[in-house]
Structure 1
């Protein structure tokens, strides 16, 4: 037989009312008691009735997470960190991968609201600001990760993308590179990284192309196609800053296809420091995002919002860190 709320109360040595408070995050109970009850629920594999909770307007202990591309190791890392923190807090995570498609975004938002999720987390790539504004208007508990929307009052956890772009370009400049190309997708985070890149070049008195050709997809193939185009141009770059690790790996593949050696003939810097960065050939110099910390912070903010534990929205900006590996080297000759 499945354990009941009565079984949990008896095993934990507390009242049924106390177990109910833990399940629904209501009332005043000590942290020690809450942890005890959660521990007993886990040991007994007790599952509150989510359907019943939803019908009575109570918590379903479910969070919706919308990410643009689950195949991207950065977003899969974000999803894992959020899921881990959510489970530690007693919440299940429903992951929706939107493929950067506005129609999918609208469909998933509607689905999550129908399922009475307790809150929603939107990841970088969600560009529909009007939808975010409408969710805020409807008082849906909401948090955003890996991007910012300065015009809206919403809990946000992001990395300093401007600083990350600045670090990447400054590293290449310090190695003597002057023809430094950038590969990016037209997203808020990438635009900020590009701002940092341009600021570093401006400081060094280096001109750059004002017209930027964005890739259509944030994957290896897109990085490969645009990098090959850049490297076949009349004035090819000696270094490329790619705004994520997948694009950077594409640039490395393109250079090899053209008979070039990395980093002797071309230096490449990525962004994210995904698991793949250390196992590419050569290992990739990249700007690290603190993925686990980002997931933990965003879940904490959202749960506080759900529980009504704070009066004001918070904006947490974490620092990126340049990780130097073997895909970059001093510029020693013209190409």
Structure 2
């Protein structure tokens, strides 16, 4: 039998009203009492009725997070930082992985609406702009992370992806590379990285039309396949920029299959600076995103919107950083 609020109050030695105040984070309660009630709630595995609270017009203290791929270490780290911040602010997190599918995006949004979540955080890869507009029209608290929607007035936290792509290509150009390929994906963040890559090559007078390949998934296997296509061509690149660390790891695998050594035969640079980058062999040069800072900032923006503490929308653009490791070296000729 599931424990009730009465059971929690009895075991904690407080009134039902006190437990309710702890649940709703209202009223004046000592930190010691609050801590004791929360510990007992956890010990008894007490789950408040969020649906009942919603019907009464109260907050359910739940946030819906939609991400495209939880298996991707970038999104896993981002989700963790959002969950940590949400927990500290008294909110639970429901995570849905959409697989870059607009159908799943719509399905999960409707499902979470039925659960009466207080607001939504939509991560990079969310392409259903019409659905975003509908949420805005409904006055649903909403925030976007790891991508931008410049045409909409919505709270946004992202990294300067154009600059990141520019830094990656410029790093390879400064090392003397001219045959620089790029592996990317047709999503907003990667499109911006591709634009930055093109700008750097354009400024250096390096043609780029035949050195671009677009993958269907941001996965190690797709990175391996696309890198293999480049490495088997007559004009094999001396460097490859992969628009994620996952894709870059795939390039590492392909290089081994072709008997090439990184970085002596092929320089490789990734994007994100996930744990994979530092753990790879050789260690991976990459463009670091401030992942944890992005998660904390977007959660703060959403919670303020839920509480009605802000009227204007904010667009925060954080700066990427080049992390030079062992997978890129100066071009030595062939």
With normalisation by structure 1, the TM-score equals: 0.91
Superposition deviation, residue 42 in structure 1:
1.9
Q: Distance in 1 between matches of 2:213 and 2:121?
A: 30
Q: Distance in 2 between matches of 1:167 and 1:60?
A: 43
Structure 2 partner of 1:173: 173
Q: Distance in 2 between matches of 1:258 and 1:144?
A: 41
Superposition deviation, residue 291 in structure 1:
1.1
- Structure 1 residues 22 and 302 mapped into 2: Cα distance closer, same or farther (>3 Å)? farther
- C-alpha offsets along residues 136-194 of structure 1, whole Å, 9 cap, x if unaligned? 11111111110001001111111111111111111111110011111001010001111
Superposition deviation, residue 19 in structure 1:
6.4
Range with greater deviation from structure 2 (279-288 or 46-55): 46-55
Q: Cα RMSD between the aligned structures?
A: 2.2
Alignment of 1:70-85 (within 5 A): 70-85=70-85
Superposition deviation, residue 22 in structure 1:
5.7
Structure 1 partner of 2:40: 44
Structure 2 partner of 1:143: 143
Superposition deviation, residue 319 in structure 1:
1.0
- Structure 1 residues 304 and 61 mapped into 2: Cα distance closer, same or farther (>3 Å)? same
Range with greater deviation from structure 2 (271-280 or 201-210): 201-210
Structure 2 partner of 1:204: 204
Structure 2 partner of 1:183: 183
Q: Distance in 1 between matches of 2:247 and 2:187?
A: 14
Local SS of the residue matching 1:44: helix
Structure 2 partner of 1:258: 258
Local SS of the residue matching 2:185: coil
Superposition deviation, residue 200 in structure 1:
1.3
Q: Distance in 1 between matches of 2:154 and 2:11?
A: 37
- C-alpha offsets along residues 200-256 of structure 1, whole Å, 9 cap, x if unaligned? 112222221178431011101111111111111121211000000011111111111
Alignment of 1:236-315 (within 5 A): 236-315=236-315
Kept in 2: contact 1:3–1:44 (CA 8 A): no
Range with greater deviation from structure 2 (210-219 or 122-131): 210-219
Range with greater deviation from structure 2 (247-256 or 209-218): 209-218
Kept in 1: contact 2:164–2:196 (CA 8 A): yes
- Structure 1 residues 309 and 163 mapped into 2: Cα distance closer, same or farther (>3 Å)? same
Q: Distance in 1 between matches of 2:302 and 2:185?
A: 28
Q: Distance in 1 between matches of 2:277 and 2:173?
A: 21
Q: Distance in 2 between matches of 1:112 and 1:66?
A: 10
Structure 2 partner of 1:115: 115
Range with greater deviation from structure 2 (149-158 or 199-208): 199-208
Local SS of the residue matching 1:71: coil
Superposition deviation, residue 297 in structure 1:
0.5
Aligned residues: 327
Q: Distance in 2 between matches of 1:93 and 1:195?
A: 34
Structure 2 partner of 1:58: 58
Structure 1 gaps of 5+ residues are none
- Structure 1 residues 92 and 104 mapped into 2: Cα distance closer, same or farther (>3 Å)? same
